[in-house]
Structure 1
Amino acid sequence: MENIERKRLAVLVGCNYPNTRNELHGCINDVLTMRDTLVSRFGFDPSDIQLLTDAAAADAGSGGSSSVLPTGANIKKALGEMVDQAKPGDVLYFHYSGHGTRIPSLKPGNPFRQDEAIVPCDFNLITDVDFRQLVNRLPKGASFTILSDSCHSGGLIDKEKEQIGPSHVTETSNKSSSISSKSSKPKAIPCETILHHLSSLTGINTSDIATHLLELFAADASLKFRLPPLEVLDLFESSKPDEGILLSGCQANETSADVTNAVMTGGKPCGAFSNAVQMVLKDHEVELSNKKFVLLARQVLKEQGFEQHPCLYCNDENADATFLSQSQE
């Protein structure tokens, strides 16, 4: 009975940052392709998929394209609404393709650590704290899968157990690269670049990125910058297994590639990880566990010559659960 009632909800975000020095080319293609895959392969209703891109609506494709820009506030609003309407047994999915960054940690006791964030089109960073808070709000029995095709994406849900990553899977470097550096670009914006951009808007002379974000975005800024440090710490205190599932395009210290002219996509720009995901799905009609799915994507990228290693972070049960499905009881 629960299987009949189960809903599948998705938020898809593609940021190409057009006409800027940070411009990418394959991110909108990534989420448009995934939208079609969610409907045809996984049974999502198109009306339950929200698409946010920084292209004009006419360029975002037909059939439910969205003119909602992927600003930090809009992305968090879409994700919050998705989580708030979720019920036990529902399957939630967030696919992000765009730039990532690393910022100095604000957590007590971690003065030298860096935390991961995604970079919306307005540079209003969405951090690991925001994703942790969303996962903590999930109703029991609902799952939330995040697939982030961005640089430094390996730590986007902090405190999630590493299933595949630098500590559990070691691989030698790819022996030869089939991808020219001229046809790919890392999907990363250094923190210094973000700081320079924000300070040019605020006119405030400080290297504290939180000051700029709070000045520009106030209540729409990340919880990392708005909450007192001890309240941030409280979000990460619970050690019980949760239903957050992170498939990252690379390890936290790596970059993910935006490919502008890849042979494997017929010259169509794409994210290397998003494209590997599509290749795995095409080559495997059977259902795949999250763990097997990520291992196969790693193999695809290795064979193509990319120096990035997708990771999986989730509890043990969800590692063996079917990608975009619930464990069968």
Structure 2
Amino acid sequence: MATGLSIHIGLNQVEPSKYDGWSGDLNACEQDANDLAQLAEKSRFTVTDPLLTRAATADAVISAMNAAAQQLVSGDILLLTYSGHGGQVPDLNHDETGDRLDETWVLYDRQLVDDELYELFGKFAKGVRILVTSDSCHSGSVAKDLPQILSPRELGKRFNTEKPDEVVKRIRVMPLPVQSKAYKKDRTAYDEIQRTHTAKDLAQIDASVLLISGCQDNQTSADGLVNGLFTSTFLDVWSLGSFDGSYRKFHREILKKMPPDQTPNLFQAGTPNTAFARQRPFTI
């Protein structure tokens, strides 16, 4: 019988001393992690203790992933969820052909570079399914313009405020000035990570990875009072397990409920597995 294992990460803030004084305060990320852990438990996954804020360090995330890779075998499934800020560091191993920036998860003590995450995926056995949800964003340039793009009514509806400064604080992305300062502060460490890790596009991944992210790379993800906008919609479509359909249908139904400037992405990596995308979500 197949095994389902889940790891849930949610950060309502980060350690300011690691990010040049920026604490990255958010409202709903811990709740996102807890609610998705509850969903996983009801779907009969073995749920590891959620990694919340101070516990969500880079070492803790890497350790949890390594432990899962050692445990899961062909036919098993890992559910990995992240809720928090997205960030970017300069791409030094040239796997990003567009903006020359590597995307990151902004963990409590440092950023986890996408090359690291893909290397962790590569440690899983062939035949393992990995489902990743990421309620975060990476487009700092779009984030700063959003208050000018949306009407006050839409800002109030989505962010519970019409004040531009408050809106920016409620977007799940590390501001560009902070990205620059954080990278310069620990440039040696981030450059070493890329020097010692294979570019994500060249990573050998035998497992099958299905990623549902909160928005496109050039968009932003909104925080909320209870859940992030993407996670809230995700849970609404799942409807306590009454949803009937495939991952692709699940993604389409989420899209229908999201605003046009935050369109969740469905992306596959690793070994192709068309049957995975056709399964009912959270099938073990």
TM range (shorter): 0.7 to 0.9
How do residues 162-241 of structure 1 correspond to structure 2 at under 5 angstroms?
177=154, 178-180=157-159, 182=161, 185-197=170-182, 199=184, 210-213=187-190, 223-227=193-197, 232-233=198-199, 236-237=201-202
**Structure-to-structure mapping, 1:131-146, within 5 angstroms:** 131-146=117-132
Determine the C-alpha separation between the residues in 2 that align with 1:198 and 1:132.
Answer: 21
Contact preservation (8 Å) 1:102, 1:190: no
CA contact (8 A) 1:245 1:312 kept: yes
Distance 1:257-1:6 versus aligned 2 partners, 3 A rule: same
Out of 216, 226, 237, the residue aligned to residue 280 of structure 1 is 237
> Which AA in structure 2 matches 1:257?
A
Would you say 1:294 and 2:281 are equivalent positions?
no
| Distance (Å, rounded) in 2 between the aligned partners of 1:193 and 1:81 | 32
Q: Matched residue pairs, number?
A: 255
For 2:118 and 2:190, locate their aligned partners in 1 and report how far apart those are by CA, in whole Å: 20
1:212 Cα offset (Å): 4.7
Counterpart-to-counterpart distance in 2, 1:192 and 1:256 = 19
Query: Structure 1 residue 152: deviation in Å?
Result: 2.8
Report whether the alignment pairs 1:321 with 2:279. yes
> What's 2:143 paired with?
none
Separation in 2, partners of 1:145, 1:128: 16
- TM norm structure 2: 0.78
CA–CA distance in structure 2, aligned partners of residues 226 and 36 of structure 1: 36
Deviation at 1:119, TM superposition (A): 0.3
Question: Counterpart of 2:31?
Answer: 29
Q: 1:180 to 1:111 in 2, by over 3 A?
A: closer
TM-score, length-scaled by structure 1? 0.68
Name the SS for the 1:50 alignment partner: coil
- Name the structure 2 match of 1:258: 223
- Residue pairs, 1:150-161, within 5 angstroms: 150-152=136-138
1:301-328 CA-to-partner distances (Å, cap 9, x unmatched) read: 23xxx731100011460332332236xx
Q: Any gaps of 5 or more consecutive residues in structure 1? A: 56-68, 154-172, 203-208, 215-220, 261-268
CA distance in 2, matches of 1:116, 1:280: 27
For residue 8 of structure 2, the aligned residue among 3, 8, 12 is: 12
1:79–1:191 Cα change, 3 Å: farther
Deviations 1:74-93 (A, max 9, x none): 11111121122111111101
Which of 77, 80, 94 is matched with 2:66 structurally? 80
Which range moves more in the overlay, 249-258 or 112-121?
112-121
State the partner residue of 1:310: 264
Shift of 1:271: 0.8
Shift of 1:112: 4.8
- Tell me the SS of whatever aligns to 2:245: coil
- Greater CA drift, 88-97 or 31-40: 31-40
- Alpha-carbon distance between aligned partners in 1 of 2:205 and 2:68, rounded to the nearest angstrom: 23
Identical positions, percent:
23
